[in-house]
Structure 1
């Protein structure tokens, strides 16, 4: 395998990203147009085997104080082989990211992976500081 990373929007395989995300628990049924809009308005991290995309992550950030890691995935047949760790490590080593004071994320099932990179669950003290607004519960 010839593993390569890219942040270039034009190198992201939006149809591939859409195919994964539309089946994910966090974006089930999302349209291709919405995925394209997400890619266009985020800092993107693609993981490629030669020129074929095998993983993706994006960060929503103001490049000063706030960053939110989202839509992280690895090609299903390659999961469990360390590619997720490689991708997250690459994100954290990025010049745009490593100068930020911290990062948020939400996950249903990958806490152990993210804890290896220093993510922590909200403490009892901090959980009451954060709030969420949802237009409707189906999104």
Structure 2
């Protein structure tokens, strides 16, 4: 398995749901993330409530600078989603370190797979061991919107 990229100096990752700045996460995703444009605060709060959440925080201020969440049964399957790095800290390796931390947090569960969907970050995720589906023709989606 790929090495764990180190988190840059001055940042920490936490899975403590009490630390999530839900207002900031909602703003980021609903205004700047192509997959969540227009998502309501109510829907975002429900997603946070029912997920395993990861935040990256500046150690000096405690300010949240990045976010990711995982939907999982903690036994067979996980869906990595809403990975977002704040504009002011992009390019520092925080997103890569965050996704690596997610992977390591989920490793003890013995999941069969962790899935994600991305329009534009295939290279980032590939460096962490993700790859295209072997048999995309085996997967289906039921669009509800």
Distance 2:133 2:101 in 1: 24
Aligned positions, number: 132
Question: Which residue of the partner structure matches residue 42 of structure 1?
Answer: 51
Alpha-carbon RMSD across the aligned residues, in angstroms, is: 1.0
Question: Which residue of the partner structure matches residue 10 of structure 1?
Answer: 18
The offset of 1:101, in angstroms, is 2.3
Greater relative contact order structure (CA < 8 Å, 6+ sep): 2
Question: Which residue of the partner structure matches residue 30 of structure 2?
Answer: 22
Structure 1 gap ranges (5+):
none
Question: Which residue of the partner structure matches residue 3 of structure 2?
Answer: none
Runs of 4+ with deviation above 4 angstroms: none
Residues 95-116 of structure 1 show CA distances to partners (whole Å, capped at 9, x for unaligned) of xx00322200000000000001
SS of 1:57's equivalent in the other structure is strand
Question: Which residue of the partner structure matches residue 119 of structure 1?
Answer: 130
Distance 2:53 2:36 in 1: 17
Question: Which residue of the partner structure matches residue 82 of structure 1?
Answer: 93
Question: Which residue of the partner structure matches residue 102 of structure 2?
Answer: 91
The offset of 1:82, in angstroms, is 0.6
Distance 1:90 1:122 in 2: 22
Question: Which residue of the partner structure matches residue 59 of structure 1?
Answer: 70
